[in-house]
Structure 1
């Protein structure tokens, strides 16, 4: 009996000590190493004979550093890897100027599908010509504002493009010419600090993100676009036709990150999700209104203060967040007025989610809130933020938020939910 027990324990010990990872196929090990920087991936070669050459066929190369020693390491990798093996994904974070073009050419010649380049050096767009490339994320200084003129690429299978000027060259915007957007398979486009061409057509595009860009005067031709994000944009005088032209638009995010709110009409027949963010704290932003005409809008999120006129159907969800900043006596009344003004436009909301600052602003002066008329006639649930218990909500605030919907209930404190995502 004792002998049997000892053999059983020895068998279990061997099972525990067994190296199961090393028994995996190279493809599975490659997938695991794809989450590591290239330096760590290569260092696995010292683990055992099984791992000695695994990195040489690794199709995922992430070079996330740049210094003299790391540059020598990159040379070692590109020299010693198995040149028959293709490269599925390559991330280059800066590199020596004379090696930069060489590495791009190497990746293209090895059928790269996902290429991310963050460089201090400029190279021609035609360097990226490839029939296999599906995703290209390119951050470069670009030598002049007209660098893309006469310089275009051939990327018939590219579905995702991120184009960004290096931060230290933000003194002018990159003019993106129409020829650069001649990408028949493109579905996702992300442009930062660019000036768009007067007209361009991307029939397959479904997601567009524009940051610090100048829009053209002509309305875009994007029949399949479903998601649009605009961050600190230079808008034309009249934007109403722009949104109306996007017949497939379902999600819109507008972020006034460093700018004041300007008059804006959001008119969209099929818009379902809308998020508006205002970061600048100033009374001047209240001079202009954002008019929302969206008969199918379901989910609305507001961050910051702005005046809004809403003309649409019943809202399923409304999330209201204000700046998490100290409240002073001079701004408190102003903030309370802004809450009352915005809430008056959201009476059809079924589920209302508030942040802690909004609750605090409402609770600071209950005598004033007690005289406000409850705008919410269709409310089903009031979601409080984490850190706010139902018992801490004063009767005046409770009556203001729930008085128009006797059957509405308060949901226990929970993290606020973002009801739609950009990607």
Structure 2
């Protein structure tokens, strides 16, 4: 009798817990949304909280793999992390929807990189982010661009420190792509049956990658390397935002053709030949130089800057850093001879207060008001501060 009573009490307790267990009764879509904010490892661990949750992680459409760079956990957790990723992808439901893969790790091998990309493409992933968190260079191999073929990928961000291999017959095919962010990637040309450095034909050392993306709107290239490439083409019929930052190259010529480009950031780039075609929609230009670390007091640098400005003559809003200003003011005869090319300029922003202020401002007024008498100048005392001095030209 006592035993029967205890069973009834137990059954009644389970029934009471079941009535109050609202979390287990949440819609699967909402659980997936909660999982999207969590590390994927925790999603798997949470399957122990409820029988209903036991296999939900297998259909999770938002995957977040992340291992922070931690010197105390790198050898214990970091070394096991790739194995977890492999087992997870193998156990996941084959036909489950996959919207996003966000992979960030301080330990990434080329084989794992290829596995993640192949899995993302085969499962119609829309957003792919792969980030190598460690500052230690790897470059233990390359990825053939033909690996990237998908009608569904819309946003791709790769910070991987590996080579991208481009052959004349193989290329990437991403017709739905709208946003592409590449960081620490090395672009390498590969001729069939030979390596890129063995060819002496300059035409074979020209690289064009983006013209096959009809829906591309935003392109960001940061700390990328152009290995033995003479001409780098950026051609896009729909591109609106372009950022080139700290790209490593050796006497490379950049050719940009983007009729819908409205915003262009040229950030801390080494001197290079620059040609722009059909930038009729250009409005905002951010131009920051690091020429001071390369050449001192050389008229060629100012000539290069003015040549670049002439390519960007349609800009309405221009931002310059202090290094660019100081180079411009060192050779006033060149400014006077070449003249200001900006025909629609409305606003000029100086990243940092130059010294001496009066001399630089006088030169800036004389140069940048050449075609736009109503230009407004904004000077930031400190790039990290909101304090500003605003000067209006009359």
For the criterion TM > 0.5, the same-fold answer is yes
| Distance in 1 of aligned mates of 2:301 and 2:118 | 48
Q: Which residue of 2 aligns with 1:180?
A: 119
1:369 aligned onto 2:335? yes
Residues 106-145 of structure 1 mapped to structure 2, 5 A cutoff:
108=57, 113-118=62-67, 119-121=78-80, 122-123=82-83, 125-129=86-90
2:186 to 233, 249, 258: 233
* Deviation, structure 1 residue 110: 10
| Distance in 1 of aligned mates of 2:148 and 2:295 | 51
Deviations 1:249-292 (A, max 9, x none): 11111234455674111111111111112355xxx73x321111
Tell me, what secondary structure is at the counterpart of 1:338? helix
Deviations 1:16-38 (A, max 9, x none): xxxxxxxxxx99xxxxxxxxxxx
Q: Which residue of 1 aligns with 2:239?
A: 271
Q: Decide whether the 8 Å contact of 2:99 with 2:124 is kept in 1.
A: yes
Q: Decide whether the 8 Å contact of 2:302 with 2:327 is kept in 1.
A: yes
| Distance in 1 of aligned mates of 2:238 and 2:59 | 43
Q: TM-score, normalised by structure 2?
A: 0.63
Q: Using a 3 Å threshold, how does the CA distance of structure 1 residues 159 and 213 change in structure 2: closer, same or farther?
A: farther
* Deviation, structure 1 residue 407: 2.9
Q: Using a 3 Å threshold, how does the CA distance of structure 1 residues 117 and 229 change in structure 2: closer, same or farther?
A: closer
What RMSD, in angstroms, separates the aligned Cα atoms of the two structures? 4.2
Q: Which residue of 2 aligns with 1:410?
A: 377
| Distance in 2 of aligned mates of 1:223 and 1:111 | 25
Q: Decide whether the 8 Å contact of 1:262 with 1:289 is kept in 2.
A: yes
Deviations 1:191-220 (A, max 9, x none): 467614635432221111234342453232
- Gaps of at least 5 residues in structure 2 are 1-21, 24-33, 68-77, 132-138, 190-204, 385-394
Q: Using a 3 Å threshold, how does the CA distance of structure 1 residues 279 and 293 change in structure 2: closer, same or farther?
A: closer
Q: Using a 3 Å threshold, how does the CA distance of structure 1 residues 279 and 249 change in structure 2: closer, same or farther?
A: closer
1:220 aligned onto 2:179? no
| Distance in 2 of aligned mates of 1:274 and 1:59 | 29
Q: Decide whether the 8 Å contact of 1:184 with 1:202 is kept in 2.
A: no
Q: TM-score, normalised by structure 1?
A: 0.59
1:189 aligned onto 2:128? yes
| Distance in 1 of aligned mates of 2:35 and 2:379 | 49
Tell me, what secondary structure is at the counterpart of 2:296? helix
1:246 to 213, 232, 241: 213
Tell me, what secondary structure is at the counterpart of 1:116? strand
1:201 aligned onto 2:149? yes
Q: Which residue of 2 aligns with 1:159?
A: 99
Name the count of aligned residue pairs.
306
Q: Using a 3 Å threshold, how does the CA distance of structure 1 residues 162 and 391 change in structure 2: closer, same or farther?
A: same
1:398 aligned onto 2:365? yes
| Distance in 1 of aligned mates of 2:316 and 2:35 | 51
Q: Decide whether the 8 Å contact of 1:229 with 1:253 is kept in 2.
A: yes
